[in-house]
Structure 1
Amino acid sequence: MLASYIQRVHHVAIICSDYAVSKAFYTDVIGCRVIAENYQPGRESYKLDLALPDGTQIELFHFASAPARPSYPEAQGLRHLALSVTNLEAARHALVDQGVSCEPIRLDPYTQKRFCFFADPDGLPLELYEASDAADPL
């Protein structure tokens, strides 16, 4: 079974509409570390490799002719990206302090964990999910 070989999520790929705005959001607001940044002139495309503190990576792409997301948030494809945090209130306040609009904190009725949603500059739904500790699988 494949699951026996999987260690963790390596990366999530995101296509943005405005490279400079999204780069600033993911580095300055979220706090991702830049691993590598590449531009392909023939494709007029950017690829920015970013790292979260646990090593999980975000690949941020920009293509000049990429279509917009068809609907929010129930379109087929990635529904949202959840970021595990140990202090939900502090993480939410850090976003709000930088001008990011966040939904109210809610309780997951199945896991009894607290969470809230916010969006990146393209409206991609992101979630802060409070785990008991950084290694908490739920």
Structure 2
Amino acid sequence: MATTPLLAGLVLRPHHTALCVDDFEAARAFFTDLIGMVVEGEMDQRGEAGLGVVVGLPGAVIRWAMLELQGYRVELFKYYNPADGRRAGLRQCDRGLTHIAFQVNDADEAYARLRAAGIETYSAPQDLRGGRSRPFYAVGPEGIAVEFIELRDPPPAP
């Protein structure tokens, strides 16, 4: 029996995924120079009082950017205060956010270009779900996994 979602009629669409990084410049370059995202906004030493309240860290001061591509956004944070953040687990079996994903029209070409640029990958693209998808994971900023996935409908003939 279907139930009505608690926030039915309020949630419009997905907006962004946020990443906290140490090397802000390298992370921004990964998403802008390699993937093609554009900077929608960026601020350094951002520390308005409401920010600390929203993130649950009173007195927070950050470097911030919002990057966008085709309506999807990645929000980058680098904390100056507090500066003692812990690094989360980065294996795909670790609990919590494990990766972000970008759909591509040619996984093999995306893989070849990233490898030629010196980007480490977990593997070459693999056919999954009977050939309906062809994903691979790359090592992104701060070691996060970034999936690139080609979706095929219908899957290629055997």
Same fold (TM over 0.5): yes
Answer whether contact 1:38 1:47 (CA < 8 A) is retained: yes
Residue of structure 1 equivalent to 2:144: 124
Answer whether contact 1:82 1:126 (CA < 8 A) is retained: yes
Aligned counterpart in structure 2 of residue 50 of structure 1, from 43, 67, 78: 67
Distance 2:15 2:139 in 1: 22
Give structure 1 regions of 4+ aligned residues with deviation exceeding 4 angstroms: 3-7
Letter paired with 1:61: F
The 5 A counterparts of 1:77-96 are 77-96=96-115
Aligned counterpart in structure 1 of residue 133 of structure 2, from 113, 131, 134: 113
Q: CA deviation at 1:8?
A: 3.6
What secondary structure sits across from 2:102 in the alignment?
A: strand
Answer whether contact 1:19 1:62 (CA < 8 A) is retained: yes
Q: CA deviation at 1:7?
A: 4.8
Letter paired with 1:11: H
Letter paired with 2:65: L
Structure with greater helix share of residues: 2
Aligned-residue CA RMSD (Å): 2.3
How many residue pairs get aligned? The number is: 132
Distance 2:8 2:131 in 1: 24
Residue of structure 1 equivalent to 2:42: 37
Answer whether contact 2:65 2:76 (CA < 8 A) is retained: yes
Distance 1:110 1:77 in 2: 28
Q: Percent identity?
A: 27
Distance 1:55 1:111 in 2: 27
5+ residue gaps in structure 2?
48-59, 154-158
In structure 2, do the counterparts of structure 1 residues 29 and 14 end up closer, same or farther at CA, with 3 Å as the change threshold?
same
Answer whether contact 1:14 1:59 (CA < 8 A) is retained: yes
Residue of structure 1 equivalent to 2:88: 69
TM-score by length of 1: 0.82
Distance 1:125 1:9 in 2: 20
Q: CA deviation at 1:118?
A: 0.5
